[in-house]
Structure 1
């Protein structure tokens, strides 16, 4: 038995070059990726700081398993909340200069869960940047709040929406670093708008934390934004911090409200305590090994400098660079050509990006070296150049 629409929908995905499959990897973290016994230089990982194989983090995880076991066995409000979880929450709150912190199992769950919890009545207004992540969109539009989207980084349009709003409670929602374009949110403008219109500000900083700021605190630190009680920040552990899970920071009252009312938090099994200890080790490395962020910046600048002028890239301010190919077919073709040359990149297609803006997404990490960068740029110049000639 099957649903009547499944076969037709899958056929449509294939016809539009939007069909997705998974690749079974022999090894998927670090500089090298191994697929079916073949090695590739991996430019599709979010392991920005190259910490996924760091001995200090692995050692902390192993010690955590020995002390607490493999899983938490329960939700945080039953028996799943340990001293390791409490220590991690306190460390993050101090690191992020926030009153309080709450752990979640994933960033998607944190975003959708928090917004669903805050949007429980129609007197609340949500104002989302047009390029907000799917988890933010789901959380907002599946709630009872009145949700609207403003043009990407368009503070003027946002101010106009807020001026015309009749919502009692208002929340601006945006990201620190946008994962498909690599540009950053205008946090100064967003914060000014929030203060002007007595709104709260929610920032998903999944791709900023660990990479930006002197001690890796993220986009708020990088842009010099002083934090106040109206600010809410979501950070993830599965990218630069190289573990698993997420955290939300905010006022004590706000965090207590989530503990009591957020269904995603209340009814989810807590992350393993061993993972919490591993994340503590990772955050400490963020503090002490600033050279990783400096190397990422250096390699990113090198990559951009070696691309031909005809190669169109996104307006990136991070180590995420989109190489625009236009059509979905071109993106898949270029992905395969680069794979044939030993480079693993991912073709990003709608609905993740707008129609006609398919691309190859390059992510540069501290594990890469100058030769990796130069060789990738040379191959992209060659492959994209041929693709443009054949249009």
Structure 2
């Protein structure tokens, strides 16, 4: 048989309790999901603000499809860029106080595009150890030298910068880290960047919408480049890169993921514009997340340790893949959907339950989740 490694690798995944399978969600996913005819409270969603089924966003999607089309039908540099895209880019630029914005089909594509386009032979890419796979893959596929600094360790980062004083440098981190839920110290990161004459890049996929007074994320104006996705708190699809005028023009000319991809759906762009408007005006959603988070933390037994977080992500490290799967299954029997996160998504020995609290949950949901966790994590 050709490609024998396929069967071998799958067998290894099964042996190490890392085999992954898809499940089919029936109907509309939200606070609850239905799978195989059974309803579950959903604590594995990234719909942090509970906007995914918002009627005004749905109406904007319909209007966008009617006025601008479902498909862009071409790349942005051919005939795929229309008014819906332009309006969304302008909305984001004003929201974040940035010169220009460029739209991408996904956060994975956006991260890879920037790492690859800026990762020239004489460039040093400095990545936080817990950077997303898309950042790592994009950096390693580039021509740049790649080094990784210890997670949120800015002294280590400064040391790496000092060892390459004459090199162009890009420092890369995340606003909120997707698996631990902790966040960057933006001020310290930018201080190191300034001292090292480096550019800074922040992936705000898990902080856009839920951080900042208007949901604009963690990044200060000191950060040179911001990337964020639409598919989490903003409840649509796609991503953007916000940057300077000159970098915007550079990416249009040299970012292969942008040049050679059909532009995102105009209908989705129009719906995202409405979503961002709601994010800015409906501050109560962020306030509710904070209230539910406080309730969750105080409802857990003292012997259950959450990783430090100021976000909607609450990680409980159970260490082994076997235990993570077993606890996830026990919770399923109690009507809770909470996915076990295992290597290689997280480092070996740190398999976990990743609880995500969303604004469409209520106090009763949180108390029930905590009660069930208190029962199964013994």
Tell me which interval the TM-score lies in, with the shorter structure as reference length: over 0.9
> Could you say what secondary structure the match of 1:19 adopts?
coil
1:112-165 deviation digits (Å, cap 9, x = unpaired): 1110010122x1001100000000000111111010001000000000000011
Query: Equivalent residue for 2:72?
Result: 72
Equivalents in 2 of 1:43, 1:2: separation in Å? 41
Contact 2:124–2:145 (CA under 8 A) maintained in structure 1 = yes
Q: Any unmatched runs of 5+ in structure 2? A: none
Alignment of 1:136-215 (within 5 A): 136-215=135-214
Query: Equivalent residue for 2:232?
Result: 239
* Displacement after TM superposition at 1:309 (Å): 1.3
Q: Deviating runs (4+, > 2 A) in structure 1? A: none
> Could you say what secondary structure the match of 1:219 adopts?
coil
Contact 2:165–2:196 (CA under 8 A) maintained in structure 1 = no
Alignment of 1:24-103 (within 5 A): 24-27=24-27, 29-103=29-103
Contact 2:99–2:243 (CA under 8 A) maintained in structure 1 = yes
Query: Equivalent residue for 1:362?
Result: 355
- Work out whether 1:263 is the aligned partner of 2:247: no
Contact 1:321–1:361 (CA under 8 A) maintained in structure 2 = yes
1:63-103 deviation digits (Å, cap 9, x = unpaired): 11111222110000001000110010011011011111000
Contact 1:313–1:322 (CA under 8 A) maintained in structure 2 = yes
Query: Equivalent residue for 2:106?
Result: 106
> Could you say what secondary structure the match of 2:182 adopts?
coil
Query: Equivalent residue for 1:313?
Result: 306
Judged with a 3 Å threshold, the aligned counterparts in structure 2 of structure 1 residues 167 and 20 are, in CA distance, closer, same or farther, namely farther
* Displacement after TM superposition at 1:27 (Å): 3.2
Which of residues 289, 294, 299 is equivalent to 1:301? 294
* Displacement after TM superposition at 1:29 (Å): 2.3
- Work out whether 1:335 is the aligned partner of 2:342: no
Query: Equivalent residue for 2:278?
Result: 285
- Work out whether 1:373 is the aligned partner of 2:372: no
The Cα RMSD (Å) is 1.0
Judged with a 3 Å threshold, the aligned counterparts in structure 2 of structure 1 residues 28 and 138 are, in CA distance, closer, same or farther, namely farther
* Displacement after TM superposition at 1:25 (Å): 1.1
Equivalents in 1 of 2:292, 2:40: separation in Å? 19
Equivalents in 2 of 1:28, 1:325: separation in Å? 31
* Displacement after TM superposition at 1:313 (Å): 1.6
> Could you say what secondary structure the match of 2:377 adopts?
helix
Contact 1:181–1:321 (CA under 8 A) maintained in structure 2 = yes
Contact 1:27–1:35 (CA under 8 A) maintained in structure 2 = no
1:285-338 deviation digits (Å, cap 9, x = unpaired): 011100000000110111011111111221111110011111000000000000
> Could you say what secondary structure the match of 1:243 adopts?
coil
Equivalents in 2 of 1:195, 1:173: separation in Å? 14
Q: Any unmatched runs of 5+ in structure 1? A: 386-391
Contact 1:125–1:167 (CA under 8 A) maintained in structure 2 = no
Contact 2:30–2:50 (CA under 8 A) maintained in structure 1 = yes
- Work out whether 1:383 is the aligned partner of 2:376: yes
Query: Equivalent residue for 1:5?
Result: 5
> Could you say what secondary structure the match of 2:171 adopts?
strand
TM-score by length of structure 1 reads 0.95
TM-score by length of structure 2 reads 0.99
1:146-187 deviation digits (Å, cap 9, x = unpaired): 100010000000000000115521000000000101000111
Equivalents in 1 of 2:180, 2:346: separation in Å? 9
